[in-house]
A and B are shown apart, each in its own frame.
Chain A
Amino acid sequence: MAETTSTTEPNDVALRASIDRSLRHPVMFFFTSGAVWLALAIVLGLIASAKKHFPELLDCLSFVDAGRVDAAHLSALIYGWGVQAAFGMIIWLMARLSRKECSNAGTILAVGHLWNLFVMIGVLSIMAGKGSGIAYMEFPIFIWPLLIFCYLAITIWSLVQFQVRDAGHVYVSQWYLLAGLLWFPWLAVSAFLFVFVFEGHPLMATAIASWFKGSLFFLFFLPTALASAYYLAPKVTGRPVYSYNLALFGFWALACLGPWAGMQKLVGAPIPQFLPYMGAAAMVLILIPAISVGLNILKTVYGRQEIVAESPSLRFTSSGIVLFVAYGFLSFFLHTVPAMKMTQFSYSGYGLDILGLYGVFSLCAFGAIYFIVPRITGREWLSRRFISWHFFFSLYGVASIVICAVVGGITQGQGIEDVSQPFATMASRASQYGWGVTIAWAFLLFANLFFCLHLLLMWARLGRRSSHPTLLKGHHAESPHGPEGEIDNIGSASA
C-alpha cells in the first residue's frame, strides 16, 4: 500500500526523474500562478473583511465595493489558487503513482494558461458588477462551461495514465485522486445546468449553488489534499500507512457523506425540509471521516516526530490533517440543531470555510509543493527561514481567522436570536471580531508573500544546487526524506 523508499534501483530513479522532467512546466506553472492568485485573494479578503467594520475604506472605488469584493475574494481563492494547486498535485501524484511519464505537458500548459485567463475574466467581471449574482457561483454564466472544458482538458490525461499503468497495486492516494477526478465534472456540470440553464424554482437555484459549494470542498479539495497526505506521510517517514482498513473506512465515509453537504444554509427556507437537515447531518457526521483519516495519517507519522519537525512537507501536511480533525469537531458543533439557529446566518460559516480551504486544503497543498518543486526543478529550496515563517504565520493566521469568525459568529447569532436586544447593538458587538479577522488576513498575507517569492525564485531556477533537501532544523547526515528523498537526479541519488 505505502510506497516504500527502499527501492532505489537505478531504473527506478531514472523513471522518477523522467516523470518529473516531463511534468516540470505544467506543474510549476500551476503552483506559481496559484500562489500569485493566493496572494491576490488574500489582499481581497483583507479588504472585504476590513469593510465589514470600517465601511468607509476605499468607498470611492466601486470595483472593490463590499459585496463585490467578498465574491471576488472567494472566487479567486477557490478557482485561482485552490483548483490550480489541486491541478498541480493531481497530475504529479497520478503520474508518479501510475509510474507513467506525461506526454501531454504542452496541452496541459496551454490549457492552464486559458484557465488563468478565464478565472481572471471571471474575477474582473465580478468586480465590475457583471457577475451572475448567485452566491457561491458568482462567475458570469459563460465562464462556467469554459472552466469545465479546461478542467477536462487538464485532468483527462491523468485518468489515461491510470488506465495504462502497469498492473499493480492501487494506492490509497489513487482512490482519492480518481474519486475527485470523477466527481468534479459531474458536480460542476449538474450545478451549471440546474442553476443557470434549466428553468426552475429560484429557491432550488440557491439550494443547488450551496450544494455545489459544499460538495466542491468535500469531493474535490478534500480528496486532493488527502491523496497528497496519504502519499507524503508514508513516503517521508518511510513507513507504511498505519491501517489499510481504516483508510478504506475513512474514504467511503467521506464518499457517502460529502455529496449531502451544502444545503444546510437553507434551514427554514420553504424547500423540502429534509434537504437542509440532511446537509446539516452530513456536516455533523463529517467528524467520522475526519477522525479516521486523522488517526490513520497521524499514527503513520507517530513516533517520527523529529521528521515532522524537520521536513517542511510533512510539517505542513501533518498540520493540515490535524486541522481536518479540528474541522470535523467544529463542524459537528456548529451544525447541531440548536446551534444552527445561531450559526446559519453568521460569520461562523465563513470561519469554517476558511478552515477547510486554507487550514486543511492549502496546508496540505503547501506540503505537497515543498515536496514536489525541488524534484521537478532539480533545485532545493533557498531558505529554511522563509519556509519556517510561511508555516508559523500561516498557522497563526488561519487559527486567528477561524477563532475570531466562529466566536464572533456565535456572538452575532446569539444577538440576533435574542429579540430583546436591538439589532444594532448586536451588530456593533459582532463587528469587534471583524477586526481580529482583518488582522489575521494580514498575517496570512505576510506568510504568503514569503511563499510566493520563494516559489518564484525556484521557478526562475535560482534554487540551491544541492543534493541535500532543505530541512527546518540543522543538517543531518541522513536525509529524513530517505535515500530517494534527495533530488532525483540519477547521479546524486546514490546515498
Chain B
Amino acid sequence: MFNNEMKLEFISKSSNEAFARVAVAAFASQLDPTIEELADIKTAVSEAVTNSIIHGYEKKQGVVKISSWLTENEIIIEISDKGKGIENIEMAKEPLYTTKPNLERSGMGFTIMESFMDKVDVESVVGLGTKVTMSKIIKPKEEKDEDDFKMLMSNN
C-alpha cells in the first residue's frame, strides 16, 4: 500500500522545529509537490511539533516522534509525544483557544493544520501523550498541468 516510509526521533528542543519540518518536506518532495503544497506541509509539521514541545512536554525534555508514509499521491504524517496530553481536544482545536496566552501563543495551530492539510486526526490521553495524524493529497504533475490548462482556457 505504501511506496515509502520514514521515521524520525528527536528530543523536544525548540531548535529542532526547523529540522523536523525541513526533513519532512525533503521526504515529501518525492511526490513532486508544488512550492505551495510544500509550504503547507512545512507549516502543519511546524505547528504539530511546536505543540508537542511547548504544550506536551512544557519545555521538559522528552522525545518527539515523526513517522511518514508516501502512497502514489498522498503523504501521511504522524507526530507523537509522550507528554501530558490534551484534556479537551475539541476545545484545543477552537481557533484562538490557547492555554498559554502569556507566551504569545495565538491558538491557531490546529486551525492551520486543518486548513493546510486534507485530514487531521488527534488522539490524546491525559498523562500519556498525544498523536496527531495528518494527510495531504499531492496531485501528480500531469493533473496539475491539466488544471492549469483548464484555468487558462476558462480565463480566455
**Does B bind A?**
no
